[in-house]
Structures are given as structure tokens and as C-alpha cells.
């Protein structure tokens, strides 16, 4: 039996036998090849394994360049892992999980709509789309009525101290911290069962960090499985149920030897 097949079997058993298991990564590797720079390889992830159940918040820790963002992007399917298995619970499939590393694009999109949310440090501003619509969009995409989606968006924006006068405006001109709070509201509104958070509080003051931490803790207590990176210790302390260290990335020569 090949390594891939046995990893697939282990994933299948894990999701059937453990109803609380939401995300399972096994031996994930990611190497970037810098073609413009002599084919040098950067081994950003050298075999990372992780299991996350409902109600857990795993905080990734490690120095800058350790691969924290890379791991979150692989888990979301933005980066294709160079090796290993990444499976996320997907009750719409016969096997009750989706293997992200070889899933069809439409399955990944469905999983993102229904199961996995991702919040990065920066908002992707869509020109001329009002803040309220931007935040409500993930619910509208799921078929929730516009009024209900707006009401939920407004509740979240208010909790995140985004002034009401900004709700009808497009966030292109907002401050960094205002944009980040709009981004968090958009990321949390659909109450995804799996949440991937990459420094969502990086440009916030203490009061707003606290508001965000509170929302993350509530999501966790409602059963979300969370993997996150947080730049300040107070937030880590507040939200983490567990920490996972990642080691610094290694540079390889073009021949593939570790430098
Ligand atoms: N798209 C890419 N192309 C090439 N190299 C990349 C790419 N993305 C990340 N890397 C490299 O992979 C390594 C890990 O980067 P990553 O952004 O995951 O680190 P990080 O732990 O999130 O760091 P930070 O704490 O600074 O955000 C770094 O050496 C980085 O240069
Ligand atoms: Mg990062």
C-alpha cells in the first residue's frame, strides 16, 4: 500500500470514528521553488501534522518565516501542498471529509461556502460594494434572506465598533484598523464550522482586540474548530486551547540539499 493510500485510509477512519474531528493534516510539506533565483528551494513546511476537533482553537507559534501563513493557506486550499494529506469534515460527501490536496475546484468552493472560513490580515476591497453588503455576502451566498443577512451584519459591525455612518460606504477609504474589523465581520458572519485566522488583530488597538477575542471565544464555544496565528500574547492566551510550534523554514540548494 502506498503512503498516499494509507494516509487516505487513516483519514477515512478518523472522520468516521471521531464525530468531533473537523480537520486533519498529516505530514504536510510545502516547498517553494524560486525559479527567478537559480531554482533555490524554500522548504516552508517540512511534514506538519495536526488534528483539530470542534471547540478547539489551535494557535500556531514560531518565528517569522516559520510557515504559519503557508500552513493556513494550504489548509484553505490557496496553496497546493507539495506532499501529505489535508482533510476537512464535509458531511455532504460519502466519505464525510474532503481531501483538499486533490479535490475538484467546485468541491473546494462548496466547502468554503459551507464549512471553512478564512480571515487574513487584510481586507480584499471590492470597489463600490458597501461595507454592509460585503459583510452580509457570505450569508447571502448560502441563500439567507437579505434582511436577515443585513441584520446579522449590522450586529457584528456594531460589536466590532465600526461606526454606523460607515456601513453604507465602500471600505476602500477606511483606516487599516477599520478595514480589518470589516474583514473579521465578513469572516465570522457565516459561523463556519472550521475557521482559519491569520493575524486578524494585527492593526487593532487593545479595545478592538478584546472585541475580536470575545467573538473568537464565542465561535469556539459554539463548536467551531479554529486554527489561528495571533501576533500578541494577550490574544493567544485568551483564545487558545492548545499551541502548536512551527520551526523556521530551511533554504535548499538547487540540488535539493539543505543549506
Ligand atoms: N508565495 C511564496 N513564494 C515563495 N516563498 C514563499 C511564498 N510564501 C511564503 N514563502 C516563504 O515560505 C516561508 C514561510 O513563510 P510564511 O509567510 O508562511 O511565514 P510566517 O510564519 O507566516 O511568517 P510571519 O510571522 O512573518 O507572518 C518564508 O521563508 C517565505 O519566504
Ligand atoms: Mg504570516
Looking at residue 252, what is its pLDDT? 67
Residue-wise pLDDT for 137-174, tens only, equals 999 999 999 999 999 999 999 999 999 999 999 999 99
Cross-strand bridge partners of residue 250: 43
Mean pLDDT, rounded, of the chain: 91
Cβ atoms of 231 and 257 within 8 Å: the answer is no
If you measure from the C-alpha of residue 67 to the centroid of ligand 2, how many angstroms do you get, rounded to a whole number?
7
Q: Name residues contacting ligand 1 (CB within 6 A).
A: 32, 42, 44, 62, 64-70, 249
Residue-wise pLDDT for 206-258, tens only, equals 999 999 999 999 999 999 999 999 989 999 999 999 999 998 767 666 554 44
Looking at residue 93, what is its pLDDT? 81
Q: Over range 63-72, report the average pLDDT.
A: 95
For ligand 1, mutation pick of 68, 75, 120, 248 (most atoms within 8 Å of CB) = 68
pTM: 0.93
Q: Which ligand lies nearest to the CA atom of residue 33 in the structure? A: 1
Distance between CA atoms of 151 and 251, rounded to whole angstroms?
49
Long-range contacts of 178-181 (CB under 8 A, 24+ apart): 179/122, 179/123, 179/125, 180/121, 180/122, 180/123, 180/204, 181/157, 181/208, 181/212
Q: Give the position, in ligand 1's atom list, of the atom nearest the Cα of 79.
A: 1
Distance between CA atoms of 197 and 184, rounded to whole angstroms?
9
Cβ atoms of 87 and 99 within 8 Å: the answer is yes
- The residue nearest atom 16 of ligand 1, judged by CA position, is 67
Q: Which ligand lies nearest to the CA atom of residue 73 in the structure? A: 1
Amino acid at each position: 500500500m502506498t503512503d498516499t493510500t494509507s494516509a487516505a485510509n487513516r483519514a477515512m477512519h478518523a472522520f468516521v470514528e471521531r464525530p468531533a474531528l473537523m480537520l486533519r493534516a498529516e505530514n504536510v510539506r510545502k516547498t517553494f521553488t524560486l525559479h527567478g533565483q537559480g531554482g533555490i528551494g524554500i522548504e516552508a513546511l517540512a511534514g506538519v501534522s495536526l488534528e483539530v476537533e470542534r471547540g478547539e482553537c489551535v494557535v500556531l507559534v514560531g518565528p517569522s518565516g516559520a510557515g504559519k501563513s503557508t500552513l493556513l493557506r494550504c489548509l484553505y486550499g490557496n496553496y497546493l501542498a507539495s506532499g501529505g494529506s489535508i482533510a476537512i469534515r464535509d458531511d455532504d460527501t460519502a466519505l464525510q471529509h474532503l481531501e483538499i490536496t486533490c479535490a475538484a475546484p467546485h468541491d473546494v468552493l462548496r466547502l468554503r461556502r459551507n464549512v471553512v472560513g478564512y480571515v487574513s490580515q487584510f481586507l480584499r476591497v471590492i470597489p463600490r460594494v458597501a461595507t454592509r453588503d460585503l459583510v452580509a455576502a457570505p450569508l447571502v451566498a448560502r441563500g439567507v434572506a437579505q434582511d436577515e443577512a443585513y441584520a446579522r451584519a449590522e450586529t457584528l459591525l456594531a460589536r466590532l465598533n465600526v461606526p454606523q455612518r460607515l456601513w453604507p460606504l465602500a471600505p476602500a477609504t477606511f483606516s487599516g484598523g477599520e478595514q480589518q474589523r470589516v474583514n473579521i465581520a465578513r469572516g465570522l458572519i457565516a459561523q463556519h464550522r472550521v475557521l482559519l485566522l491569520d493575524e486578524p488583530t494585527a492593526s487593532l488597538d487593545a479595545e478592538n482586540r478584546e472585541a475580536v477575542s470575545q467573538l473568537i471565544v464565542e465561535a469556539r464555544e459554539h463548536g467551531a474548530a479554529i486554527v489561528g496565528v495571533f501576533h500578541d500574547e494577550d490574544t493567544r492566551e485568551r483564545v487558545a486551547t492548545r499551541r502548536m510550534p512551527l520551526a523556521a523554514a530551511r533554504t535548499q540548494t538547487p540540488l535539493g540539499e539543505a543549506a
